[in-house]
Amino acid sequence: MPPKEIHLDSLSIRLVSPMHIGTGTARGLVNRTIVRGRDGLAYVPGSTLKGKTRDACEALADLSGIGCRGHAAGAVEERRKCIVCRVFGGPGRPSGLRWHSAQLSPEWIEALGGRRERPFIYGQTTTRTQVQLSRVRGTAAEARLFTSELAASELTFHSRPALSGRCRLTPMEVVNDPDVYYELVLLCAGLKLLARLGGGKSRGAGECQIELPESIRVGRQEIPIERQLANVEGLALFADEVDAE
C-alpha cells in the first residue's frame, strides 16, 4: 500500500511547570539558556516534539510487544516491518512526516507586549540556580553551582500545522470501526502520552498538557482522533498484520 498524505492541523501545549529546552550556550550569569526565535520569543522546536513523541511511542510499542526492531545496522527489512520506524524513520529509512515548531500563543505574545524587534522579551522566562549532583555519591558536587533559564509555567504554545507529510498506513482490520490504522493509533496515543518536554524532568521541569484537535486528515478525509485512541489495545496485533503483507 503506497504512503498516504497525513495532516494534523494543530497542537497546543500548556506548561504546568517551567520548561528548559536548552541551546547549550551561556549568556551573562545564566549558564544554560533556552531556545528563542529571531523575535526573542521562546518556542518548542519541532525536533523536540518529534523526539519526545517517539520516546512515548517506543514505550507504548514495547508494552504492546511490537517494540522497535529496526535499529541494527543493515536491517532494512526489519525497519520496514517496525511500526516506530514507519512513523518516525530510522537508519536508512527517513520519515516522510515533518514536525512543525510550536510558537508562543497570540494571547501570551500580547500579554508580553507584542512582537518587537529586540533580542529578549521579559516575563516569559524564569531562572533557577542549582548545584550539580554527584550520581555516584548521591551528594552535591563541589564548585558545581549553575543557573538555568526556563520558559515560565502557564505559557501556552501552538503548532499550526503540527504535522504534515506522507506515511505508509496499515488498516486495523480486526476492529469494527472504519478508518483505523496501526500507525495512526500509535502516533495519536504517543501524543496524548506526552507529559514533559525539555530537560530537567528529575528536578520537576517541563511538565505540560497537550491538546489535540478532534480529527487528523488522511488524504482528503477527516478521521476522528478518538477513534484511533479507542483501539490502542489492537496494537499488539501489528506484527502479525505486517508479516502477512
Digitized pLDDT (tens) for each residue of the chain, 245 residues in all: 688 999 999 999 999 999 999 998 888 888 889 999 988 899 999 999 999 999 999 999 999 988 876 555 555 555 567 899 889 988 777 899 999 999 999 999 988 876 555 555 678 999 888 776 666 666 656 657 788 899 999 999 999 999 999 999 999 988 888 899 999 999 999 999 999 999 888 778 999 999 999 999 999 999 999 999 999 999 999 987 776 56
pLDDT at res. 118: 54
Go through 175-200 and write b for each residue having 16 or more CB atoms within 10 A of its CB, e for each that does not: eeeeebbbbbbbbbbbbbebebbbbb
What is the per-residue pLDDT for 28?
A: 85
pLDDT at residue 128, rounded to an integer: 86
DSSP state of 212: -
pLDDT in the model for residue 70: 54
- pTM listed for this prediction: 0.87
- Domain assignments of the chain as residue spans, ordered by start: 4-243
Helices (H), the chain: 46-63, 76-81, 83-88, 106-111, 182-193, 225-229, 238-243
Take residue 177 and report the three cell numbers written for it: 470501526
Q: What angle do CA 237, 162, 173 make, to 5 degrees?
A: 20
